[in-house]
Structure 1
Amino acid sequence: MTDAVPTTAPATAGVGANGPAGSFEPTAEPIADPAAEPTAELSAELTIERAAHGGHFVARHEGRVVFVRHALPGEVVRVRFTETEEGARFWRADTVEVLQASPHRVAHPWAAADALRAAARGRSAVGGAEFGHIALDEQRRLKAAIFAEQLARLAATDREAVVEGAPGEAPDGLGWRTRAAFAVDAAGRLAMHLHRSHDVVPVREMPLAVPAINALKLWTIDFTGIERVDVAVPSGGGEPLVLLVPDAKTTPRRVAGVASSIEGASVGVLDPESGQVQRLKGRTWLQETVLGIDYRVTGAGFWQIHRSAPEALVTAVLEGLQPAAGERFADLYAGAGLFTVPLAHAVGPGGSVLSVEGSAGTSRDARRNLHGQGHVAILQGRVDDVLGRWNEPLDAVLLDPPRAGAGSKVVRQIVQARPRAVGYVSCDPASFARDLGYFLGAGWSLDALRVFDLYPHTHHMESFARLVPPSS
């Protein structure tokens, strides 16, 4: 059951909900920015056929495939074409008006990301909530269909997917992001990028973020001289950390002045090239707690974004792989040790865990989080390089690769190690399906699959799969 929504939205419309689950201004609109307004482009009326991976919906225009954003299957929409190269296999477009609406269309909770409101104001929507116009249960149904389609297309396997909500998810799917990255516009205002664009739009608040991020009211601060503002809050609450990326001409005095205007948070300067953080006030790291285990994560270090994601994924891994005392595990793309620490506890001193992470800073976090665990080997470097040198047997392997996936070489190395099982945590169904195809080609099987909606109101999803070798 969904609320009715007009097929076009007036510029003054605002939707949302006040309160602890998603504390933000229900009528907050992005600040008008003439520089961000698009030029007039070709438009057309299209009928939407189906959802596609990447936050797009498939339509056809004069025989050509068009990937449309901000639509729904079965809708008739007016679009503005955004990419129209004559020789391209497909074009791209944004929905600007809904002529026949799906029953699953709802009022978007974030004005800056609402394509219909943005079009009424003569501009494009910011990225980051491209499924916000879809009822939450329908978002999950579409994600399940997309996941299954990727498995069929890229792994040639017919497997149904069911998308689970995160533990403790708010009914409206808001207030979950513990990390957020903002741009800064030419006037020094907090801003966000338009989709697939270098243009930015000033914003006030982010409904997907946890209340502690919005409570900082960073949109009231003059960030002149700063190129980027990253914010992180511990999943269980605590003082936020704000990281500033100054432009090359900004003086230390100016940066210190910006930092002094930020209240209620630690502040540091981030070097995006090295990942190093210089402390300005407070501390440069966050303490996270997952299932009773404490972790230290530096400001620039990787951590799951959804406040409930670490617990959901650690639980899935432990239940899926059933680590036993004395076993030898490998945790590949291990990050700060989210999975390494509980695996080390499970196998005990009689077993061993190999932790491999490419980022030097994140690998340092892992060393802190696993201090005193002598049965854990923490190696920083490329996964394929480390596996190529590793000669000890492995009973099980866990991998959590970046969005690009692991690739055929790493899969081949894992298969050659002959573990009893592989756990694969993925943030992208396409790269997972491709890697799954490599495992299937080596005779392995997809034994268990769980898909999680850890990014509500976006097209992204997370999954855990257990893969098993052919029986001997």
Structure 2
Amino acid sequence: MTPHNNSPLAEPSSLQGTPGTDLVVDVGPIAHGGHFVARHEGRVIFVRHAIPGEKVRIRLTDSGESSRFWRADVVEVLEGSPDRIPHFWKPADSLGSWSRGGPPVGGAELGHISLQRQRSLKAEVLAEQLQRLAGLQRTTEVEAVGDNHDDGLGWRTRASFAVTSKGRLGMHAHRSDVVLPIKEMPLALPGLNELKLWDLDLSGIARVEVAVPANGSRPLILLAPEESTSPKRLHSILSQLPHDVSVASFDPSKGEVLQLRGRTWVQETAAGHEYRVTGEGFWQIHKDAPDTLVGVVTDYLSGGGYLQPGAAVADLYAGAGLFTASLADAVGVTGSVLSVEGAPGTSRDARKNLHGEPQVEIVQGRVERVLHQRPRNFDSLVLDPPRAGAGKAVVKQMMAAGPRAIAYVSCDPASFARDLGYFQQGGWRLESLRAFDLYPNTHHLETVGLIVPAS
């Protein structure tokens, strides 16, 4: 493998550890996080925008003599994979972006790979994590959801943006403070693109969050002003925004959402229920994700006889109550549902969404603290933790609650596999597992596992 830069006489040793250096490498398997493994003189390099089996020219983006591994982007394909396709989005195309002098935006790092191959690669990541962290040999298909003929586009109901120094809507390059302007978001629902936020002068705003519900209800734009932004400037920005859209300001550090126009929340629909979700409150971002996940969870628990009228169940990391509402339907007024959520604003949403369900108890607080303070037995549990997973302490508490089954919804195969390992150490096993491509053209995937006592 030969290093390349503007000086053909440069010695390899003078190039090692220098960001911006070009190398030619053979691409190996995919790794968790959207990278592909390559090696240069024994050094592991995590390469983005590659495909296994390719020979590519890469540019180091994060390196150093003391680094355990380096990071790089593909800048030229020398021997391509048959699964490589033209990238659908110019700002996210590594080859085109580097030819224009800079890195691509993050957020669509698998857009150069056919959807079928994307899903097989995600299945490889899931299998590798299960083997490495849980000692479990299991191959699971990553299933498409919704319209399988949409090229993996137009599915996002939520998007987060930065703002360039010139006040234009933008996105960060991967692992970088660089903000690159954009003029479209192909992964998002048409309603988000129709807002045309990239045409506005957003000077004075540090971050923009947009929620466009799949049911067609009123969108919400959240603006995070810079500390120096005056009320007059904020009003000027507000006057540029479409009048039929709700607008609020928010402080990410404090979690405060203040009304500027319309509502501070959006109305979502899933599994026959309506949900109010305030500000940055969590909601599945794929338009078809809520119905898909609720369906799998309830099928797992009902099909095994773990969820029936009169049962006692708990929904942990419950958010605005997506799963809680369907669990309440299943157990009826003779059963009980404990719904636990740590974020105060999201927990308030859950109270509003489930105020007419007497069998539901909404508790705001950290899951481990609530389970410690309110020890009780449950027939089954549902958990949908953040990317970091539940962790060893919570897994122990869940097993101690004596459920006959646990439905675990995860957006990260590594934390899921780690937690599954904790369950196995406690005498539990993975009964069923399904995986879904809820984030097409990115490296992310969603899994739903049914975990039961081994005995």
Residues 418, 469 of structure 1: 8 Å contact kept: no
Q: Which amino acid letter does the alignment assign opposite residue 144 of structure 2?
A: G
SS of the aligned residue for 1:339 comes to: helix
2:194 to 215, 230, 238: 215
1:169 Cα deviation (Å)? 4.2
- The aligned counterpart of 1:272 is 252
Deviates more, 1:345-354 or 1:276-285: 276-285
Indicate the SS of the match to 1:260: helix
Task: Please report the TM-score for the alignment, with normalisation by the length of structure 2.
Answer: 0.94
Q: What secondary structure sits across from 2:161 in the alignment?
A: strand
- Quick check: 1:276–1:300 contact (8 Å CA) kept in 2? no
- With 279-288 and 220-229 compared, the bigger mean Cα shift is at 279-288
In structure 1, the residue matched to 2:164 is 185
Give the Cα–Cα distance (whole angstroms) in 2 for the partners of residues 170 and 248 of structure 1: 45
Q: Which runs of 5+ in 2 are unaligned?
A: 1-17
Q: Which residue of 2 aligns with 1:395?
A: 379
> SS of the residue aligned with 1:180?
strand
Work out whether 1:201 is the aligned partner of 2:180.
Answer: yes
Q: Tell me, yes or no, if the aligned pair for 1:168 and 1:308 is still in contact at 8 Å.
A: no
What's 1:301 paired with?
281
Alignment partner of 1:123 out of 68, 92, 102 = 102
Identity %: 58
Alignment of 1:110-149 (within 5 A): 110-149=89-128
The answer as to 2:321 corresponding to 1:337 is yes
Q: Does the alignment pair 1:439 with 2:423?
A: yes
d(CA) in 1 for partners of 2:193, 2:139: 38
Match of 2:48 in 1: 69
Counterpart position of 1:158: 137
Tell me how far apart the structure 2 counterparts of residues 339 and 235 of structure 1 sit (CA, whole Å): 18
Distance 2:23 2:181 in 1: 29
Are 1:243 and 2:227 counterparts? no
Q: Contact 1:328–1:347 (CA<8 Å) still a contact in 2?
A: yes
In structure 1, the residue matched to 2:365 is: 381
Q: Does the 8 Å CA contact 1:96/1:119 hold for their aligned counterparts?
A: yes
Offset of residue 171 of structure 1: 2.8
Cα distance in 2 for partners of 1:87, 1:277 equals 43
Per-residue CA distance 1:59-103 (angstroms, 9 max, x = gap): 110011111000000000000011212122211111000000000
Which secondary structure state, in structure 1, belongs to the residue aligned with residue 322 of structure 2?
coil
Give the match's secondary structure for 2:82.
coil
Amino acid at match of 1:70: H
Partner SS state of residue 317, structure 1: helix
Matches within 5 A, 1:341-356: 341-356=325-340
Deviations 1:346-385 (A, max 9, x none): 1011110111111000000000011022211111111111
Give the AA of the match of 1:398: V
Secondary structure of 1:411's aligned partner: helix
How far residue 275 of structure 1 moved from its aligned partner, in angstroms, is 2.1
The range that moved more, 295-304 or 80-89, is 80-89
- Please name the residue that 1:32 is paired with: none
Quick check: 2:311–2:379 contact (8 Å CA) kept in 1? Answer: yes
Distance of 1:40 and 1:314 partners within structure 2: 45
SS in 2 for 1:104: coil
2:210 alignment partner in structure 1: 231
- Superposed CA deviations along residues 241-270 of structure 1, whole A, max 9, x for unmatched, are 111110011111111110111114111111
Match of 2:66 in 1: 87
| Alpha-carbon distance between aligned partners in 1 of 2:148 and 2:268, rounded to the nearest angstrom | 19
Question: Once the 2 structures are TM-superposed, how far is the Cα of residue 40 of structure 1 from its aligned partner?
Answer: 6.7
Q: Which amino acid aligns with 1:284?
A: T
Conserved in 2, the CA contact under 8 Å of 1:59 and 1:68?
A: yes
Q: Which residue of 2 aligns with 1:173?
A: 152
Give the letter for the 2:98 counterpart: A
Match of 1:317 in 2: 297
Secondary structure of the residue that 2:111 maps to in structure 1? coil
- 1:52 match: 31
Contact 2:19 2:63 in 1 (8 A): no
Letter aligned with residue 229 of structure 1: V
89, 96, 99: which one aligns with 2:75: 96
Q: Which residue of the partner structure matches residue 263 of structure 2?
A: 283
What is the CA–CA distance in structure 2 between the aligned matches of 1:74 and 1:308, rounded to whole Å?
A: 33
| Superposed counterparts of 1:248-267, under 5 Å | 248-263=227-242, 264-267=244-247
Q: How many angstroms does 1:468 deviate by?
A: 0.5
CA contact (8 A) 2:218 2:267 kept: no
In structure 2, the residue matched to 1:30 is none
Q: 1:412 aligns to what SS in structure 2? A: helix
Equivalents in 2 of 1:139, 1:167: separation in Å?
16
RMSD: 1.1
- Alpha-carbon distance between aligned partners in 2 of 1:176 and 1:289, rounded to the nearest angstrom: 15
Amino acid paired to 2:298: L
Q: Secondary structure at the match of 1:314?
A: helix
Residues in 2 aligned to 1:319 and 1:254: alpha-carbon distance in whole angstroms? 51
State the one-letter code of the partner of 2:378: L
Distance between the aligned counterparts of 1:177 and 1:170, measured in 2? 16
Aligned equivalents of 1:167, 1:214: Cα separation in 2: 20
Letter in 2 for 1:340: T
Partners of 2:443 and 2:29 lie apart in 1 by 14
For residues 396 and 193 of structure 1, the distance between their equivalents in structure 2, rounded to whole angstroms, comes to 41
Q: What is the CA distance between 1:170 and its match in structure 2? A: 4.2
- Tell me if structure 2 keeps the 8 A contact 1:81–1:93: yes
Matched, 1:408 2:392: yes
Task: Please give the per-residue CA displacement for 1:108-146, whole angstroms capped at 9, x wherever unaligned.
Answer: 011111100101101001100000000000000000111
Q: How many residues align?
A: 433
